[in-house]
Amino acid sequence: MVGKFFVDERFQQYSWKSLQKDLVSGIIVGIIAIPLGMAFAIASGVKPEYGIYTTIIAGILISLFGGSKFQIGGPTGAFIPILFGIVAAYGYENLLIAGLMAGVILILMGIFRLGSLIKYIPRPVTIGFTTGIAVTIFTGQIANFFGLTNIEQKESFLENLAEIFANFNTLNVYSILTALICLLTIIFTPKLFPKIPGPLMGLLLSTFIAAFLYPGEVATIGKVYGEIPNSLPTISFPQVDLQTIGKLIGPAFVIAMLGGIESLLSAVVADGMTNSRHNSNKELVGQGIANLITPLFGGIPATGAIARTATNIKSGAVSPLSGVIHGLVVLMVLLIFAPYASHIPLASLAPILMVVAWNMSERHVFSYILRTKSSDSLVLTVTFLLTVFVDLTTAVSVGLLLALVLFTKRMVDTQVIAKALPNLNSINKKVETQMVSDGHDCPQITIYNIEGPLFFGVAQTFQQTVMNTIHHKPQILLLRMGKVPFIDITGEAHLASIVKDFSKHGTVLISGLNEQPKEMLMKTGLYDMIGKEFFFEHTGQAIQFGLNQLDRSKCLGCRHFAFSECKEFSNSKQLVHDIKEVYTSVNQ
């Protein structure tokens, strides 16, 4: 079992040529991951080396234990506002505990096969909070881009903007120049040198220029955070008690949910690029293991990185080994070049994060959903605004709740609960709702077309609408349910109420019952209460059964002619003869 876990289908038909491809892609992605790891850590409110540790340890573990062949894991931009808020509120040590707890939650989610549930999160919600996070990241780098001083980082978006405006007079021309050099290099490197990572080239070029042309004029990693050690820290177990767990369960759950969503979205992107298929539950377990172990080395929470995963695929990766190599490359760079990283200007990291924010903003999809001017536009806008101005937890919770409410409303609006009769002018005499009128409606048989799911949102309306027909006490109530795909317990309860009330004076017939509604009625006993003989596959069979149960004496003289048999019933000489015989025998 253990062997199968490590050597699974992701490594099938592995060869020397495959190793060569994984080696190349691993080196490329590892080089790209170095500046990103430091930038994400700094933006999250922790030291840059913690981002490097996360890239190494989580990157290797996610590739080994995850459910995708091509997933590259590590710190990501999506976590920045979450982690910064946790550090500001609880401190770095508690961030490690929250990350460890998130790892446990992710493992449990995978074990209980909850991976498939994440795909049911509405797209407007994911686009809304992703774009909101992008805005937060972008604005959070303005101070470093312009070299502003005396900035106090706040949790509130508006307070941070106020800090920027209040201290904008402290801008540093050298910082702006450094940031522009890095930004332009990032933009033009892919066009001029497609095989060279733009962020790395921008970081190196701007750092060299700042160090040699105007040394000491811009804030660097070394000045602000101190020297970066050239080794991994020793493993350390944080002190955890029930009180700490209680106060961090909320942040841990947010980290787990965002990490799960981000990693599975990345895995789906990888599937689309390679025509492969990931194991969502195994991916969650892998993410959980990584987030459980990484904090023991001082690393911050990690997840699947969409951009680095895409780069991994484009660079020719064929197995998870490329992700392992990417982590080892970062480790080697840490051991050899860590002291030189202290000279990197913060202004060089700002454009890297701004470009990340720009790329993750989903601006095209965002504007497309807005242009639809639909309920999805409302969900998108609310989620986006709450992400920016409140927090991600509130944004996702309200976004999901609003999406559920609006979805329920749409289901209610599309529901059809209407009286119907056969269209005698059509060839196959199809039962239609628009056929019923005051002068054309059978007094003894009432037919209802029920279309759409019969669930809590429409159950009461369904009962009230149908019960209104009971006042004239028809003998037969036929419910056509062929277009009811689903019925929940609330819908079943209201249907049972109709059956109980109507059965006091008549008979309920049901036609076209689908599999799920049938299973529900059988589980609750309503199927047996109605009686198997009163369920029909086709409406025609049910109508014929109902016609045979009619009180024919009430048909004499009726001019509604709801069914093709009505003319015969209305003028039946045999029926008149039978009634006369009954009348004579009674009088004798």
Instruction: Output the domain CATH number for residue 420.
Output: 3.30.750.24
Residue 337 and residue 204 in contact, taking contact as beta carbons nearer than 8 Å:
no
In a domain, 8, yes or no: no
* 476 and 386 part of one domain: no
What does DSSP assign to residue 435?
G
Per-residue model confidence (pLDDT) at position 2: 42
Query: What is the structure's pLDDT at 580?
Result: 52
C-alpha 373/C-alpha 387 separation (Å) is 20
Structural domain including 502 reads: 415-587
Q: Same domain, yes or no, for 461 and 313?
A: no
Last residue of a domain, one of 382, 403, 424: 403
* 399 and 420 together in one domain: no
Neighbours of 123 (CB within 10 A): 14
Q: Give the Cβ contact number of residue 526 at 10 Å.
A: 16
d(CA 545, CA 508): 11
Tokens of 528: 């047996």
| 184 and 59, same domain (yes or no) | yes
Q: Which helix (H) or strand (E) holds 535?
A: strand 535-536
What contacts 557, CB < 8 A, 6 or more positions away?
A: 570
Write down which residue in 349, 380, 403 finishes a domain: 403
CA separation for the pair 189, 184 (Å, rounded): 8
Q: Is residue 408 in a domain?
A: no
Tracing tokens 């920045």 back to the chain, one arrives at 80
* Local structure of residue 511 (DSSP, 8 states): E
Q: Are residues 368 and 477 in the same domain?
A: no
Residues 480, 342 within the same domain: no
Residue 347 lies in a domain: yes
The angle that helices 242-274 and 306-314 make with each other, rounded to 10 degrees, is: 30
Enumerate long-range contacts of 416-419, CB under 8 Å, 24 or more apart.
Answer: 416/449, 416/450, 416/451, 416/452, 416/483, 417/448, 417/449, 417/450, 417/451, 417/458, 417/461, 417/462, 417/465, 417/466, 418/448, 418/449, 419/446, 419/447, 419/448, 419/449, 419/469
In a domain, 12, yes or no: no
Judgement on whether residues 191 and 239 belong to the same structural domain of the protein: yes
Distance CA 26, CA 326 (A): 4
Q: Give me the pLDDT at residue 424, please.
A: 84
Say what the pTM is. 0.80
d(CA 179, CA 182): 5
Q: Count the domains in the chain.
A: 2
pLDDT, tens digit (0-9, with 9 covering 90-100), for 516-535: 999 999 999 999 999 999 99
Tell me the average pLDDT of the chain.
90
For 178, 343, 352, the CA distances from 346, given in Å and listed in that order, are 9, 9, 10
Residue 337 DSSP symbol = H
Q: Which residues contact 92 (CB under 8 A, 6 or more apart)?
A: 45, 46
Question: Does 69 fall in a domain?
Answer: yes
Nearest 5°: phi and psi at 98?
-65, -40
pLDDT less than 50: residues of the chain: 1-7, 579, 582
CB 520 within 8 A of CB 496: no
Indicate whether 5 belongs to any domain: no
Residues 446 and 374 in one domain: no
Task: Note whether 369 and 420 are same-domain residues.
Answer: no
- Structural domain contains residue 451: yes
**Do the beta carbons of residue 72 and residue 29 sit within 8 Å?**
yes
59, two tokens: 């990157």
Strand 507-511 relative to strand 476-483: parallel, antiparallel, unpaired? parallel
Strand pairing class (445-451; 476-483) = parallel
Residue 443 buriedness (CB in 10 A; 0-12 / 13-18 / 19+) = middle
Q: Which pLDDT belongs to residue 367?
A: 95
258 in the same domain as 179: yes
153 shares its domain with 220: yes
Domain co-membership, 176 together with 261: yes
pLDDT of residue 588: 53
Predicted pLDDT of residue 181: 97
Cβ-contact 361, 135 below 8 angstroms = yes
